[in-house]
Amino acid sequence: MLSTTRVPIPLFPSTCHKPDEPAAFSTLAALARLGYKYSIDRIFTAAIKRLKAVFTDDFQAWRAHEGRTTPLVKFTRNDAIEAVNLFRKSNQARLLPSALYMCCSLSVHTLLHGAQRADGTVEKLALNDLERCLVAQQKIEARSTAFNHRMLDFSDPARPACVARDSPTCSTRLPQLLRGLGDAVGALGGDAGASTRQQCLRVFVETHRSPEMRETLGLCRICAEYVLSSDLLFSEELWHDLPSVLDLPVSEWH
């Protein structure tokens, strides 16, 4: 006689239970779809909670990784298209701005033709979201251009005075550094949808966080800190305005 004893089958991969081990975005997205489709709240909630480490609605959390792989989730920027569609389908409105913002850094080719999921399915943005990203790219580019111009305008009376004592001064050194970083970004195949100079400034900010690196690259403390603080303000303002930049109705965005 066959036994009728039910053996529990673990539906949730062990990696999603271990806080110190990153889970692949593709795994989390598949679990979220499964949990949502079959109303398995435990699976859906756990997967979305992990995905929130990347697609956050909190600026400080975003600033900590800025669209890069985190200790909790392994992903690429192309995964943002799948994330947008997942969040649309599962009514996760507060996670949409950061996912769409990541989409804005993708090339026009990727936005138009989509990105392949782990199972081979090609994910494409809905027409409204595609238009939303293309328009937002232009808005972000305009902001970035104005910001970059301000960073290189040493004649601005509101700018703190450079205290570099040796030649070349920061007014010469900073453009040189950005040009060098631009060559590096291009060689590495930087995000085609984003401003190249803005990418350079992002690299600049990352490499100038330590005083030792600032000294190595030859900028005075005042100019380096001015760029760092200005970049933070730029990022905060853009983050605050994301719902309007993306034409998304999101309440109490922060």
Read off the pLDDT of each residue in 25-40 and give the average, rounded to a whole number.
96
Which tokens in the block code for residue 65? 């990784």
Q: How confident is the model at residue 99 (pLDDT cuts 50, 70, 90)?
A: very high
Average pLDDT over the chain, rounded to whole?
A: 82
Read off the pLDDT of each residue in 215-233 and give the average, rounded to a whole number.
80
Read off the pLDDT of each residue in 29-38 and give the average, rounded to a whole number.
96
Is the per-residue pLDDT at 193 higher than 80?
no
Read off the pLDDT of each residue in 44-53 and give the average, rounded to a whole number.
95
> Three-state DSSP class for 185?
helix
Position 189 scores a pLDDT of 47
Is the per-residue pLDDT at 200 higher than 80?
no
Strands 115-116 and 73-74: unpaired
Q: How confident is the model at residue 124 (pLDDT cuts 50, 70, 90)?
A: very high
Position 64 scores a pLDDT of 82
Position 206 scores a pLDDT of 65
Question: Across-strand partners of 101?
Answer: none
Is the CB of residue 106 less than 8 Å from the CB of residue 191?
A: yes
Is the per-residue pLDDT at 82 higher than 50?
yes
Read off the pLDDT of each residue in 189-197 and give the average, rounded to a whole number.
45
Query: Rounded to whole angstroms, how far apart are CA atoms 140 and 133?
Result: 10
Q: What are the extents of the domains in the chain?
A: 15-125, 137-244
Is the CB of residue 110 less than 8 Å from the CB of residue 80?
A: no
* pTM (two decimals): 0.82
CA atoms within 13 A on the CB side of 213: 11
Position 4 scores a pLDDT of 44
Query: Rounded to whole angstroms, how far apart are CA atoms 53 and 126?
Result: 24
Reading phi first (left if > 0) and then psi (alpha if -120 to 50, else beta), residue 188 is in alpha
